[in-house]
Amino acid sequence: MAFGRSTDRLNPRTGPAARPMADINVTPLVDVMLVLLVIFIVTAPLMASSIRLDLPAAGAAAPVEQPRAISVALDAQGRLFVDDQPVADTQALAQRLRTAAAGVPDIELQLRADRSRPYGEIVTLMDAAREAGIQRIGFVAEPAAGPKPATAPR
C-alpha cells in the first residue's frame, strides 16, 4: 500500500527511498499488552479472595483437630519406646499400636530409628503398624549439619 504519487516512482532524484512507509509500528502495541498482562497478574490473586463474609457462630463448627501421632523409637541397643515409654517387645508394641489406632482412625506413626539398627528391624516395626491398622507412617530424621553434600555429576 503506497501513499505517494505514481509519478514518484519515475522521478530519478527521489528513488525508492523517498517513498512513504506504509508498515504499522507494533512496538507501542506490545508495550500496552505487556502493561495489561502485568496488571492482570497483580490483580488476579486479589480477585480470588475478594468475597467477604460475616459467618454466624456455631458450637458444632469447631475446627477439626489435626490427626494424632504416635511416636515409636528404636535405639542403638534395640530397645523399643512408644511415646517415650519403654516397651518390652514387638508383641507389646503391636498391642499399644492397636489400642492407639482404635481410638483415632487416621493416626500417624512417627518412626525414629537409630542408624546402626538393621533395616529388617525397621521393616518389622512397619509391619506391626500396618497390622494394627495404621496406614500413615512418617520417618523422623535429624537435619543435616553444615552445607549440603554436592551431588555427583552425571
Q: Is the model's pTM score more than 0.85? A: no
Q: What is the DSSP string of 55-118?
A: PPP-GGGPPPPPPPEEEEEE-TT--EEETTEEESSHHHHHHHHHHHHHH-TT-EEEEEE-TTS-
Which CATH architecture describes the domain 69-139?
Answer: 2-Layer Sandwich (3.30)
Whether the predicted pLDDT of 44 surpasses 60: yes
Could you report the per-residue pLDDT of 78-127, keeping only the tens digit for each?
888 888 888 888 888 888 888 888 877 788 888 888 888 898 988 988 99
Domain ranges for the chain, please list them. 16-45, 69-139
